[in-house]
Amino acid sequence: MSYLKTALKVVKQDQEPKTETKIRLVEKKSLPMTEARLESLQAVMDAIILTSRDRIIEAHQGRQYKANDEIRKAEHEIEELQREVLTGQVQLADFQKAVKTWELVCLEEVSAR
């Protein structure tokens, strides 16, 4: 085969469409909410809330806790997310973020006094 024919053959191969590798997305199946799983989630959420509560109590240094509208809103969101975590609608990280927000709002209220 001549040099020219070989070069043309190589160019032709480069121009042919290559087959694409298709990536299949796999759906993540959620685990069933067994009684043990519910108890475990509840225990973790309780620990998260209690840890934040203890920090808030420590920051108050014996002073009265006063909830304002912003604190009540954050507490309501925590209650809603807690139910949603137990039904599998949201992740534990969402609940944890809401508790952290509640803690920060409470700590801001203490420092504002």
| Residues spanned by the domain of 98 | 32-112
Residue 7 confidence (pLDDT) above 60? no
Residue 81, in any domain of the structure: yes
Domain contains 102? yes
| pLDDT surpasses 70 at 106 | yes
pTM above 0.75, yes or no: no
Helical packing angle, 92-112 and 69-86, nearest 10°:
170
With respect to residue 16, please indicate whether it lies within any of the assigned structural domains.
no
Is 26 part of any domain?
A: no
Residue with tokens 């190589």: 10
Question: What DSSP string describes the chain?
Answer: --HHHHHHHHHHHHHSPPPPPPPPPPPPPPPP--HHHHHHHHHHHHHHHHHHHHHHHHHHTTPPP---HHHHHHHHHHHHHHHHHHTTSS-HHHHHHHHHHHHHHHHHHHHH-
Report if residue 57 sits inside a domain: yes
User: Is 104 domain-assigned?
Assistant: yes
Is 2 part of a structural domain of the chain? no
Whether 105 is in a domain gets the answer yes
Q: Is the pLDDT of residue 56 over 60?
A: yes
Count of domains for the chain: 1
Tens of pLDDT, residues 19-55:
666 666 666 666 677 899 899 999 999 999 999 999 9
